[in-house]
Each structure stands twice: as C-alpha cells, then as structure tokens.
Amino acid sequence: MTEVLIINTGGTFNKVYNPINGLLEIDTQGDALRSITSKWHCEIEIIDIIGKDSLDLSNHDRLELLATISQFNFHHIIIVHGTDTMDITAEYLNEGDLKKCIILTGAMVPYSIDPVEATANLCSAYGYMNAMHKEGVYISMNGLVDSYDKIKKDRSKGKFTL
C-alpha cells in the first residue's frame, strides 16, 4: 500500500454550524477527516494547517503549504482545500516542481451537511493516489479525477467540469 499524508487546509469540506452565531465555521481540528478515515485499516497521517476558506488564502498561507509538503517525507500527498481557489493553489504547487504526487480535493457542501459528497471526493483522491505513482498535481472533485489543468470550477453553476 501507498503511504499517504493528508494535509487539511480548511475549506467548505470542514465547515460546521455554530448555533451561537448561526454561521458555518471551519473546524480547524479536522473532525470530518478523522471520521471518514476511522474505518480504514491502513496507515494515514493527517495534519491540520491554515484552516481557512480558500478565498482568504494569502501568499503566506500558500508558502506555509509548500513548506509543509517539503518538510514531510511522503511522496503521496492529498490536500483538502476550499474549492474557490483550488486551481490557483494547484498551479502554484505545480510551479514549485516538488517531485511528488499531489492531489487536491474538497467539497461543494460541508461534510457535516452532506457526508457523501465530501467522502466521495476524498476517497476518489485516495484511490487514485494508490494507483498513480507519477509526479504531478491532480484534482479530485465530483467524480472527476485528473491532472489539475484539466478540471475547472464553474462558479455560476457551483460545479466542477472537465
């Protein structure tokens, strides 16, 4: 089996409802990821960094992500990321020329509201990674799993397309 590191950066995937203020807020503890992988009988390492909506990601945040990827000894890395700037981060990481197999994923609806879509996106990424050993940057969203430059978000329709 492939050893996989999951870097959780926040995004809709991780949002939970706060009954005090009525807002959906990012769970920076990453409970959604732990819940999905709790039934898995393989070794997974999960780390939580940044904890932001992807529209709020700064250059400093992307630098932190790059540094985190470099610092860990894993060749296979899944990044849970907000959907709005997933393509920008993917391109940024591609330019970093990291010699790793990296796949970005996320969710259109929080795991706490629709566990199926978030689980499907994450696990399509996870399965892909177990068969893909070539270096590169990929995206996994809503049944689409391919090189990052082939998948785009259509914001007006709220969905990803090839």
Q: Determine the Cα–Cα distance for residues 41 and 51; give it in Å rounded to an integer.
A: 27
Using the structure block, give the residue that is written with the tokens 């492939």: 2
Q: List helix spans (H) across the chain.
A: 31-37, 59-71, 86-95, 115-131
Give the shortest CB-67-to-a copy of itself separation in angstroms. Answer: 27
Examine residue 132 and tell whether it contacts a copy of itself (CB under 8 A). Answer: yes
84 HSE (CA, 13 A, CB side): 10
CA-to-CA distance for 145 and 61, rounded, in angstroms?
25
Question: Based on CB atoms, which residue is closest to a copy of itself, 34 or 58?
Answer: 34
Site string for a copy of itself, 6-45 (x = CB under 8 A): ------x----x-xx-x-x----------xxx-xxxx-x-
Cβ closest to a copy of itself, residue 66 vs residue 132: 132
Of 24 and 98, CB closest to a copy of itself: 24
Residues that bind a copy of itself (CB under 8 A): 1, 12, 17, 19-20, 22, 24, 35-37, 39-42, 44, 108-110, 112-117, 119-132, 140, 142-146, 155-162
